[in-house]
Structure 1
Amino acid sequence: MNVLTAPIKSDTWTKATWEEFIQATENPDYDKAKFYYYQNQLRIEMSPIGNDHAHDHSTILGGIHLYLATHDLNVAIKDNCSYRKADKQEAQPDISCYVGNNADVIPSGTSIISLDEFPPPDLVIEIANTSLADDQGKKRLLYEELGVKEYWIVNVKDFTVTAFRVHGQGSYRIHISQVLEGLQLSLFEEALKMGRETSHTQAAKWLLSQFS
C-alpha cells in the first residue's frame, strides 16, 4: 500500500519511509491524530479518545501538579508533545516531563522537539485504552531506544499504573517513581478509582492529603 495515496489504518503499524511519514503528518486528514515512527513503520492513532481516557488523563496530569506543589522538584510538564529523531523515530506521548537540570532545556517557541538537538524527556506517560497492547510492546521498545528514564502506562480499564525504569536500552518494573522522587504509584491508582466513582475534586483532595 502506498501510504501517500491510500487511507492509513489507525492503531496499526504501517511500513513507510521517513519521507512518507513526514508527508502523512502534514496531511490535513490527520490533523487531530497522534503519530509514531519506529523501525521504518508509522503508526497513527485516530480512534475516539472517549470519556474514560480523557478523565484519567486529567487525573494523572492533575496528580503530578499536586505532587510538585508539595515537593521541591523542578519539573516541566508537556501535554501531547512531539519528539523527533530525524529519519529514525518519532513519538507523541500523552504526557511527558523534563526533570531537574533538564526542566528548562527546551526553549519557548519550540514546536516539535528535535532529539538530535535536545535530550529526551525524563518521563513519558501513555494513557492506554484501545492502544494498551502496543503501549506495552513496541512503544516500550521505542521509548527505551529514545533514552527516556522512566515510562508509565495507565490502563483506563482497570485503573493500574505500570511503570518501568529504563536503563541501557532495557527496562524493569518499578512501583515508586525514581524520576518524580518517592512518588508511590499506588496512590495514583487509588486516585484513578476515586475520580471515576466520585469526582476529580475528591480525588485531588485525597491526593493532596497523601502528599502533604
Structure 2
Amino acid sequence: MGIEMIISAEHSRDHGIIVIAINLFGIAKALPLNLLINCSYRKTEVYECQPDASYYIGERAKLVPQGSAVVDLEQFAPPDLVIEVADTSLADDLGTKRLIYENIGVSEYWVVDVQKNQVIAFAIADGGSRRITQSQVLPGLPTATIESALQRSRQTDQTHVGAWLLTQLQNS
C-alpha cells in the first residue's frame, strides 16, 4: 500500500475551475496554451517542485517539454505560469514554494486559497515577486474573474460556471 497525499473535494473542484477558466481564456482570445498538470520540475541539486498546474503560454507554448522524465530545468525552459491550490498548505505555498518559483524563473505564480475562494497572484522578475490583480502572462484576465468563477462553483456545476466564464471572456 502506497502513501498518497489527501486531496479534498474543494481542492479538486477549485483545481478544475482554474484549469477550465484559463483554457477558456486561451480559446476566447486565440492564445496558444500548453497545460501540464502535476508535472515535476527539477533544477539540478537545487530545487524540485510539482505544481498543481503549469502553463507554457503564447510563443512559449511550443517549448513545453516532451518525455516521461522529470522536467530538467537545465535543459528546458520553466513554465510561464505556475498554480498551487492551497487548502491546508497556504502558508507553505505563499512562503517556501513562492521562493522556489522565484528561483526557477517562472513569470507568474498563483496561489488559490480554497477557504476564501481567493487567487493570490504574483508577477516574478529579477529573483523576486510582487502581488498583482491582473495577469501579465494572460493579458486581460483579472484575478477577480477567476474568484467569481470559484464562488459560482460552490453553487452550481462546472458546465454552468464554464458557460458563464466564456460569456465574460468573450465580452472582455
With the length of structure 1 as denominator, give the TM-score of the two structures: 0.77
Unaligned runs of 5+ in 2: none
CA–CA distance in structure 2, aligned partners of residues 184 and 72 of structure 1: 17
**Runs of 4 or more consecutive aligned structure 1 residues displaced over 3 Å after TM superposition:** none
Deviation readout 1:177-199 (Å, 9 max, x if unpaired): 01011111101100001011112
1:108 CA displacement: 3.2
One-letter amino acid of the counterpart of residue 113, structure 2? N
CA–CA distance in structure 2, aligned partners of residues 67 and 100 of structure 1: 12
Q: How does 1:7-86 map to 2 (within 5 A)?
A: 29-30=2-3, 32=4, 46=5, 48-86=6-44
Aligned partner of 1:142 among 100, 125, 130: 100
| Greater relative contact order, per chain length (Cα 8 Å cut-off, separation 6+) | 2
Unaligned runs of 5+ in 1: 1-27, 33-45
Which residue does 1:128 correspond to in 2?
86
With the length of structure 2 as denominator, give the TM-score of the two structures: 0.94
1:72 CA displacement: 2.3
1:172 CA displacement: 0.5
CA–CA distance in structure 2, aligned partners of residues 69 and 103 of structure 1: 14
CA–CA distance in structure 2, aligned partners of residues 158 and 139 of structure 1: 19
One-letter amino acid of the counterpart of residue 199, structure 1? D
Identical counterparts, % of pairs: 45
Report the RMSD for the aligned CA atoms in angstroms: 1.3
Higher Cα radius of gyration: 1
